[in-house]
Chain A
Amino acid sequence: MKRNIPHEIEPLKALQEFTSARIAIGRVGTSIPLKQSLEFKLAHAHARDAVYSELNSVKLTGSLKHFEQPILHLHSQVTDRRQYLQRPDLGRKLDENSLNELKGYSNGSDIAIMIVDGLSATAVNENTIGLLDALIPLLVANGLKLAPISLVEQGRVAIGDDIGYGLKAKLSLILIGERPGLSSADSLGAYLTYNPKPGLTDESRNCVSNIRPKGLTYKKAAKKIFYLINEAFKRKLSGVELKDNAGLISEG
């Protein structure tokens, strides 16, 4: 029996060096060949698994010990992933137990670091410690006082406003799993907010995105975050105004 070979456009294959788009994948009839179809399915499976992954609290708590900070275990008002995906408003608010938990730690600090599952706990589980190993020594060497580190389940970015406010921190740094893409299910995002308080919007934050070994490396990300933190303290603000200036400097 004659084997059905996918019709491929060989010269087009050379164009693949210019883009990671799925070009020149050939066809069988009008359909995508099986190999490419399964590759796509696998990438989607990784993204789906990442959305439903959970914070590995035990392992993270153990790894965070060497930073010698108290560790808080907090939770949003969301009950499960299904609700998390449909009610972003509840993912932005702490539940009552968590609010009470914060009360014992409101004696003021410079920076509150929060580790939040977001849309990919996988990203958090895999990349947070590496990033903090590069970042925390920079902060400590600069004399910045850290608040207790929070581990937050079912959280969105804005939950950091509640936490930072409760801890009386001058700046909140949220490390959160980003929405998984087909090529990256493990992207970590860092959001910093000066003078965090409930009710802020995204305009008040700065973001460093795509933190992962194959994206923005830990060392580069830590440097970028550290720069933004210093600028935020210097100018006593964060968000749109800070971003413009930082953009100019990093391009130069």
Chain B
Amino acid sequence: MYRHNIHHRVYKFPNLKTLLGKASPYRSGDELAGLCAGGYEERVAAQITLADVPLKNFLNEAVVPYEDDEITRLIIDDHNEIAFSHISHLTVGELRDWLLSDETDCATLTTIAPGLTPEMVAAVSKLMRNQDLIAMANKCQVVTRFRNTIGLRGRFSTRLQPNHPTDDPRGVAASIIDGLLFSSGDAVIGINPATDSPAAVSNLLTLMDELRHRFDIPTQTCVLSHITTTLQLVNEGAPVDLCFQSIAGTEKANASFGVNLSLIEEAYLATLSLKRGTVGNNVMYFETGQGSALSANANFGVDQQTCEVRAYAVARKFNPLLVNTVVGFIGPEYLYDGKQIIRAALEDHFCGKLLGLPMGVDVCYTNHAEADQDDMDNLLTLLGVAGCNFVMGIPGSDDIMLNYQSTSFHDALYLRKVLGLKPAPEFEQWLIKQGIVDDKGSMLPVNEHGLLGGF
């Protein structure tokens, strides 16, 4: 039992998961789940109460029972006591102040990361303002490698997302070429397929692999099919660079995606065995998003942000190249408006980075959310300041297959220009060599470019 008094009013919270829910900044998904605070005072009372909870409590009180959930077992069994010993004397509130202090630098954060559980990280984020989330994320640096180096300070990458409603190869290729000529695609060139058939996915993989070879592009490609499809294709010898999967924060929610830890492990090892990376071997690409556990009726009374951070425990087990929170895709019943989407994105980015993950964000919204391009401009700029590893690059922001709006090729150019950021170093050299940008990173005219000769 956790409790706090404000002006003779006693606020009681029967357990940690209730306290976490009530301490969460307001969002529609927690209201839908019946987990959020009843009013402003109760929310702050919960935050004050949470601030006094010792971090050690989190190791003794699971929000989803250990016996029932393999992700809880992963979190507890893989917890690193030695890393934790640096901070084991702190409360959640003391952790917040310790994280923000000048003495706590990137190296320290990397050391303690294995000692943090997702629930500790979710808890501390609930005590932070947006500014704290940005400042803290900016302290962390998470670098990953496959055919290039992603996440270095001063660098900012994009996933080129050339989706097409029928997977038409020429339609996909047209968007890829447009994107490359806009300097997009250093995180990955990644297609969401309209159908999950192995033959169709294999065709797209081959198309991208040939293009990559022909122009010697130092990047990686991916078709975001279900992990079982990818595993089959790896075994059949298709050119699989990265293995993709959507993941969530409870075993039951992952079951609704048709995955579990042993299946992910199998696909991870299979993809790793291909040894296609040239400068590193981070081969996994995960996507997440607040609300997925609730929408699968698998949240077990845990607020959506804590569920989200639990998904990062799954991600960090498999040394991913990219982790992408698809923040505004799920719709207004989980994140109602621009304010909630922005907050959630900053939370996800910070929490993932603190746990040692190479976080990117799909800065996005659907047409039934109370959000527009201005909200996305704000979020993109905040994420750039926070040191986000990558965002999406989609022609004109309009994904014609998934029917939502994300960031455009232009958006990434804007962010690089105003914040002085550059693409991944290997990709940057390629862009200069190809005459797409000059050595200062400015765009050059590309009317006659060889990439256009493919048609």
Contacts and interface: CB of A to CB of B under 8 A. Distances in A.
Interface of A: 7, 9-12, 14-16, 18-25, 27, 29-32, 36, 40-41, 43-44, 47-48, 50-51, 85-89, 119, 179-183
Contacts of A182: 367, 398, 403, 405
Given A21-B171, A32-B408, A32-B410, A179 B403 contact: yes
B417 A30 contact: yes
A66 B370 CA distance: 39
Q: Residue among A14, A20, A181 with the most chain B CB within 10 A?
A: A181
15 contacts: A9-B446, A10-B447, A19-B171, A22-B397, A30-B413, A32-B396, A36-B396, A47-B367, A51-B368, A85-B336, A86-B336, A119-B368, A179-B368, A180-B367, A183-B398
Given A18-B168, A86-B31, A89-B32, A179 B366 contact: yes
What are the 5 closest A-B residue pairs judged by CB atoms, nearest first? A22-B396, A19-B171, A30-B413, A15-B174, A47-B367
Interface in B424-451: 443, 445-448
A168 B54 CA distance: 58
Contacts of A51: 367-368
Given A51-B367, A88-B333, A22 B174 contact: no
B408 A85 contact: no
Nearest to B27: A86
A40 B333 contact: no
A179 B171 CA distance: 24
A57 B417 CA distance: 52
Interface stretch (B42-50, B89-97, B175-183, B198-206): B175-183
Contacts of A18: 168, 170-171, 173-174
B410 A30 contact: yes
Given A87-B32, A89-B32, A40 B398 contact: yes
Nearest to A32: B410
B372 interface: yes
Contacts of A86: 28, 31-32, 332-333, 336
Contacts of A89: 32
A18 B333 CA distance: 35
Given A18-B170, A20-B400, A179-B366, 6 more contacts: A10-B447, A15-B177, A21-B171, A21-B394, A85-B333, A88-B32
Contacts of B163: 21
A89 B177 CA distance: 44
B197 to A, nearest CB: 12
Given A15-B178, A30-B414, A21 B395 contact: yes
A86 B332 CA distance: 6
Interface string B15-59: 000000000000010011000000000000000000000000000
Interface in B340-399: 366-368, 370, 372-373, 394-398
A105 to B, nearest CB: 31
Given A27-B410, A51-B367, A89-B32, A12 B177 contact: yes
Contacts of B414: 30-31
Contact of A7 (B31, B174, B332, B445): B445
B452 interface: yes
B22 to A, nearest CB: 19
Contact of A21 (B164, B403, B413): B164
A143 B164 CA distance: 42
A225 B372 CA distance: 35
Contacts of B413: 27, 30
Given A11-B447, A85-B368, A179-B367, A23 B333 contact: no
Nearest to B396: A22
Nearest to B332: A85
Given A14-B455, A15-B178, A85-B333, A21 B368 contact: no
A19 B333 contact: no
Contacts of B373: 40-41, 44
B176 to A, nearest CB: 10
Contacts of A30: 410, 413-414, 416-417, 443
Nearest to B295: A88
Nearest to B170: A18
Contacts of B28: 86
B172 to A, nearest CB: 8
A85 B448 CA distance: 48
A40 B400 CA distance: 13
Nearest to A41: B373
Contacts of B338: none
Contact of B174 (A19, A27, A31, A48): A19
Contacts of A29: 417
B396 A40 contact: yes
A162 B174 CA distance: 47
Contact of B397 (A20, A23, A40, A119): A40
A20 B417 CA distance: 28
A30 B405 CA distance: 19
Nearest to B297: A201
Q: Residue among B162, B367, B372 with the most chain A CB within 10 A?
A: B367
Nearest to B172: A19
A12 B178 contact: yes
Q: Residue among A9, A21, A85, A119 with the most chain B CB within 10 A?
A: A21
Contacts of B396: 21-23, 25, 32, 36, 40
B211 to A, nearest CB: 14
